[in-house]
């Protein structure tokens, strides 16, 4: 299932420099998981692990994430952003896909309640 990962200002403030499991991107991915863990490499590649430690999803490095990680780890100012990631529905929190809907362009956006 494609999940929209939102790296928020809160994730950035609480993230730890040089910590693959507690950086802003890892924190943002974790918010969408039932359980398990996440590791983000210095090039912005992402691995999602289930509770047994098996890799259940991964995302190859992207230029955008690599720049974000590099700037964040060097203490430079970074801005919130979002990206899509394929994660098996069995590990995704139910609330995640209830709160997302696909727009006409195929991108995900937060569901707006009336």
The pLDDT, as a whole number, for residue 23 is 97
Range of the domain at 37: 2-83
In a domain, 92, yes or no: no
Residue 10 has pLDDT above 90, yes or no: yes
In a domain, 108, yes or no: no
Tokens of 58: 């991964």
Say if residues 104 and 98 touch (Cβ distance below 8 Å).
Answer: no
19-77: pLDDT as tens digits: 999 999 999 999 999 989 999 999 999 999 999 999 999 999 999 999 999 999 999 99
The pLDDT, as a whole number, for residue 94 is 79
> Could you tell me where the DSSP H helices lie in 1-114?
9-14, 24-30, 63-73, 94-98
In a domain, 99, yes or no: no
């Amino acid at each position: 299932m494609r999940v929209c990962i939102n790296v928020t200002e809160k994730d950035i403030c609480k993230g730890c420099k040089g910590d693959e499991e507690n950086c802003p991107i890892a924190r943002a991915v974790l918010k969408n998981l039932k359980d398990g863990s996440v590791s983000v490499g210095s090039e912005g590649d992402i691995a999602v692990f289930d509770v047994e430690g098996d890799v259940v999803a991964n995302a190859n490095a992207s230029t955008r994430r690599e720049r974000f990680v590099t700037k964040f780890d060097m203490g430079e100012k970074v801005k919130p952003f979002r990206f899509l990631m394929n994660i098996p529905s069995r590990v995704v929190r139910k609330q995640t896909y209830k709160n997302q809907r696909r727009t006409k362009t195929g991108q995900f956006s937060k569901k707006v309640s009336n």
